[in-house]
Chain A
Amino acid sequence: MPQTAQTSEAAQAIAAAVAQIELAVREVQHPVEELGLLIDQMSSGLGVLRTARRRSVNPDVVAVFPDDLDRAVEKLQKQLNGSITQLQFYDRLVQHLKHVQDFLSGTAGELASRSTRDAEQADVWGGLREKFRTRLITQAQRQLLDALLPPPEGADLDSAQARSECAAQGSVELF
């Protein structure tokens, strides 16, 4: 197969992969919105339970002598908080995939235009790679890219930095 035909096929394959990623993200969007709504409703329900309890019993008494209902409400609140934390990984996944999609789209576009011209533009690939790298949101994602698609000057793979970033999840720092 001539070089230009191969390039064109590669561009089409990448474009097809991009469309599949887009579909996968779109398909899961509604269920996740529903999940968020359910969490919202459960949170409101817990609020109603607490308010009702406060109406019948002095809150100071509840704080010192919680009964089974109080303990169940607190346990549910902890579980709900855990759900809120875990659901945020969906947001991270969507962001990550969006950046991958944009990178692939740029690559497919470049390949498609190359199939109709011969000019060498190595800097275009570097530019696409750098734009993708900048938009990635974690050090682990950037290091994976560096390992598989190293920059011309070579990759500086510091796994300690990625580990430290992972440990920083949920951290709070006031200035």
Chain B
Amino acid sequence: MTRILAVDDSPSMRQMVGVTLKSAGYEVLEACDGQEALNLAKGQAAVDLVITDVNMPNMDGITLVRELRALPHYRGVPLLVLTTEASAEKKMEGKAAGATGWVVKPFSPDRLLATIARIVA
């Protein structure tokens, strides 16, 4: 089963992402900020995709993407940013850090699932 790590400091956002992913049959792991996600990743948690918010306490999403890309077992894992940030500068920052894609909140479940299916296929 495809396993996805959803990272967001907002419990309601994690819940909505979780409901969306589980409805499509994905297994969902959750982390409440970049640091917790990185700890999970360093603890060898194997996932097929990471979906992360940008603005979070302790460690933001862009830093998380950069840190994950530095881990040998995460080099090939798709990292999708899901954020309210829509500015071209932030997107470029995410791309430079190693993000696979950028989705602007509020997300549409159908579009998010179609994007994920494309990425993890």
Which residues from chain A sit less than 8 Å from chain B, CB to CB?
Answer: 32-33, 36-37, 39-40, 43-44, 46-47, 81, 84-92, 94-95, 135, 137-139, 164-165, 168-175
Contacts of A47 in B (CB 8 A): 23
Known contacts A32-B12, A91-B13: does B105 contact A168 (CB below 8 Å)? no
Contacts of B55 in A (CB 8 A): 95, 135, 137
Please state if A174 and B109 are interface contacts (CB–CB under 8 Å).
no
Contacts of A46 in B (CB 8 A): 23
Measured CB to CB, the nearest residue on chain A to B23 is A43
Q: How far is the CB of B24 from chain A (nearest CB, A)?
A: 10
Judged by a CB distance under 8 angstroms, whether B76 is at the interface is: no
Please state if B12 and A169 are interface contacts (CB–CB under 8 Å).
no
Contacts of B18 in A (CB 8 A): 40
With contacts defined as CB atoms under 8 Å apart, how many contacts are there between chain A and chain B in the complex? 105
Please state if B101 and A175 are interface contacts (CB–CB under 8 Å).
yes
Partner of B16, one of A87, A139, A175: A87
Which residues from chain B sit less than 8 Å from chain A, CB to CB?
Answer: 10-13, 15-16, 18-20, 22-23, 55, 84-87, 91, 94-95, 99-112, 115, 118-119
Known contacts A39-B16, A168-B104, A175-B101: does B84 contact A95 (CB below 8 Å)? yes
Partner of A95, one of B10, B101, B111: B10
Please state if B104 and A36 are interface contacts (CB–CB under 8 Å).
no
Measured CB to CB, the nearest residue on chain A to B103 is A172
Contacts of B20 in A (CB 8 A): 81, 84
Known contacts A33-B11, A85-B106: does B86 contact A171 (CB below 8 Å)? yes
Closest 5 CB pairs of A and B: A88-B106, A168-B86, A174-B101, A81-B109, A36-B15
Q: Roughly how many angstroms separate A40 CA and B22 CA in the complex, as a whole number? A: 9
